[in-house]
Chain A
Amino acid sequence: MSVKPPMSHAKTGGPLGAAAPKAPLKTARPSSAVPRDVALLVFLRDRGILVLWAVLLIGFAIWNAPYFATANNAMLILSASSVTAVYAAAVAIGLFSGAFDLSLPGVGALASCVTAVALQNFGFAIPLALALGVVIGALCGFVNGWISLKGLNPLIVTIGTLSVTSGLAAKVVGGYSIYGLFQLEFMGSARYFGIPSHAFIVAALYIGLTVFLTQTRAGIRMRAVGGNAEAVRRAGLNERQYRMMGFVFSGTLAGIAGMMTMALVGEASPTASPGVIFTALTAVALAGVSLQGGRGSLPRVLIGALILGTIADGLTIAGVEPYWATVSTGALMIGALLLDKYLTEAISTRLVRISTLNVHDGVK
């Protein structure tokens, strides 16, 4: 082809600018600023959950004065929210990359049972046994991903692997829970500087994962794949690799959550409680993570988990029957979803309005 590569023009001073009329492009300037009302709606959509948590904290502090607003109660809330927070991170990371993983409780149970057997029956050193649990979680995630990437719906695949993993967990421990795992107290009920050990684990996981998701290539591409796998493919990337990463992260986190539960109660149970996944999903939905994938932020998921812990704790102190906690979290989640839908629609109608406004500006 006789055409000079466009890049070579760049050195000689930008032919593009010289070759075409510039005037029409300048008129685009007014639309480049996001208007105030849109910015406010975006703020509410992205930070509303913080406002909600603050309102709950203040409300309970007044209602339950003086028992709620104490350092010790804060630690109770942290401790009660921790396992939920890790399962919620597992669900959220799956969703970011476009995978809906329902097998997480089974994966958690399997990882904890394998760890417990390794500790009690095979005399593994603690770090080695814990590492084994993490690997089991990652492996389960890999299998979920491997099957789903064959073109099956992850929702159905992971319902299947939920049964498989919990069945395997029961097989590993011979059908009965393993008790007396006191050697794990350091990552169970132990406190350091008055702060529950679980809070440190959660903080480390959330900080690490947030940095990974927002600052690194792999993390950004993982979120991109959940948002629009086709776009990632068109960018010449192996989109399957990043979807697989989502499954592996999800499984690994479930394994860690399973071991945290085991350490807290000193017992490894093969029963995979499906309730875990729904609590985690509630936290994730509160945080505005889209089930369609690609949208959401991990720190907000943490706040979502803390909100659930706060409600349960606040209502317990107030002496309200525990079933009201379930009712109110359910109602809260639906409310959050409705609000999110309203805000998203309001934002897009306003954006459409901007683009039509420009037509009139142009005609004038």
Chain B
Amino acid sequence: MAHPDSPPALALGGIAKHYGYVKALDGVDFHVNAGEIVSLLGDNGAGKSTLLKVMSGAHAPSEGTIRIDGKLVTKYTPSVASDLGVEMVYQDLALVDTLDISTNLQLGREPLRPFPLSLFGFVDFGKMHKATRTQLDKLGVRTAPPERAVEMLSGGQRQVTAISRAAVRLFERGGGVILMDEPTAALGYEQTLMVEALIKRMAAAGFAIVLVTHNLPLCLNVSDRIVVLNRGRKVADVMRAQADHNKIVSWITGADRAEEAVA
């Protein structure tokens, strides 16, 4: 999707992160282009979530640089990240259980009824549900009806809603980066497929996507590129075509390195 000369949507350089004496990340370079799906793999404690939190601004790195669309960002916090179009998908943090899907997606930009009711802030629910339907259609998501409360959704529908919520917000600014930590953990077979298809659609629409997962089949199905961390260091950064199940396992377990293979 991305023009070869255009800078990556998000690029990290020489990232290190210490938790007290623990070195969770060490000299990690990472980038993701618009329209690209990059899977971030690694064993438990390899530093995947930490790296993702650095990308989302939740954790400040101890060392290293962060560039968004090629521009160096110095004071990087979650709200700066959000302003620059980097959205982290949190299944639990971002949804209000007691409200319906539609209200959750449109929270903060609820359409109002015509004058004079608009003066009192009366919400036009019909319009809101319609907007939600249009947006979900655009994402190719067929989940529960927009009027359904989030607490009545199954895990997969919830996850799809949480991802859609991030995507809908990015649609308005015309692109951005979506970060996902284990989006299919605890999901059944069919619901994993649903999330998988949604991820592909979002990449096709031009979003840059970083996916942390332990699910190798999912990774092999959706990734354009695969990055593997081992004990806080990057041990592989390869195009999908250059990876297979066995190689990935050997990178994850630390039996092998493949950084030379970086495209």
Residues of A bordering B, CB below 8 Å:
1-10, 14-17, 19-22, 24-29, 31-32, 34, 38, 42, 215-218, 220-221, 223-224, 227-228, 230-232, 234-237, 294-295, 347, 351-352, 354-356, 358-359, 361-363
- Known contacts A1-B6, A355-B154; A235 and B175 CB within 8 A of each other: no
**Complex alpha-carbon distance, A42 and B138, angstroms:** 31
Q: How far is the CA of A325 from the CA of B197 in the complex (A)?
A: 59
Interface on chain A toward B: helix, strand, loop, or mixed SS? helix
CB-defined contacts of A24 to chain B, threshold 8 Å: 190, 193-194, 196-197
Q: Does B207 contact A (CB under 8 A)?
A: yes
Report Cα–Cα, A295/B145, bound state, in Å: 21
Number of A-B contacts (CB under 8 A): 190
Number of interface residues of B (CB under 8 A): 66
Q: A361 contacts which chain B residues (CB < 8 A)?
A: 190
Measured in the bound complex, the distance between the Cα atoms of B193 and A363 in whole Å is 12
Instruction: Please give, as numbers and ranges, the residues of chain B lying within 8 Å of A217 by CB-CB distance.
Output: 110, 112, 121-123
CB pair A16 B112 closer than 8 Å:
no
Query: Distance (Å) between the CB of A302 and the closest chain B CB?
Result: 19
Question: Please, which residues of chain B bring their CB within 8 A of the CB of A25?
Answer: 140-142, 193-194, 197-198
B201 with A3: CB separation less than 8 A: no
| A contact residues around B115 at 8 Å (CB) | none
Task: Enumerate chain A residues within 8 angstroms of B142, measured Cβ to Cβ.
Answer: 25-26, 28-29, 32
Residues of B within 8 A of A (CB): 1-3, 5-7, 9, 34-35, 69, 82, 93-99, 103-104, 107-108, 110, 112, 120-123, 137-145, 148, 152-157, 170-175, 187-191, 193-194, 196-198, 200-201, 204-207
Once the chains bind, are A223 and B98 in contact (CB under 8 Å)?
yes
B99 contact set on A, CB distance < 8 A? 220, 223-224, 227
A216–B172 CB distance below 8 A: no
Q: Of A10, A216, A224, A359, which one neighbours B190 at CB under 8 angstroms? A: A359
| Residues on A with beta carbons closer than 8 Å to the beta carbon of B107 | 220-221, 224, 231-232, 235, 237
Given contacts A5-B173, A231-B96, A234-B82, 10 further A-B pairs with CB under 8 A are A6-B171, A7-B174, A15-B205, A17-B140, A22-B197, A25-B194, A28-B156, A32-B143, A217-B122, A230-B93
Residue of A4, A16, A354, A362 near B201 (CB, 8 A) is A16
A295-B149 Cα distance, complex, nearest whole Å: 12
Indicate whether A19 sits within 8 Å of B201 (C-beta atoms), given known contacts A7-B171, A217-B121. yes
A2, B122: Cβ atoms closer than 8 Å: no
Q: Is A224 a contact partner of B103 (Cβ separation < 8 A)?
A: yes
Q: Which residues of A contact B153 (CB under 8 A)?
A: 351
Q: Is there an interface contact between B93 and A234, defined as CB atoms closer than 8 Å?
A: yes
- Residues of B near A5 (CB, < 8 A) are 173-175, 206
Do A358 and B188 have beta carbons less than 8 Å apart?
A: yes
**Bound state CA distance, A236 and B122, in angstroms?**
20
Contact of A19 with B193 in the complex, beta carbons under 8 Å: no
Which among B95, B121, B138 is the interface contact of A231 at CB below 8 angstroms?
A: B95
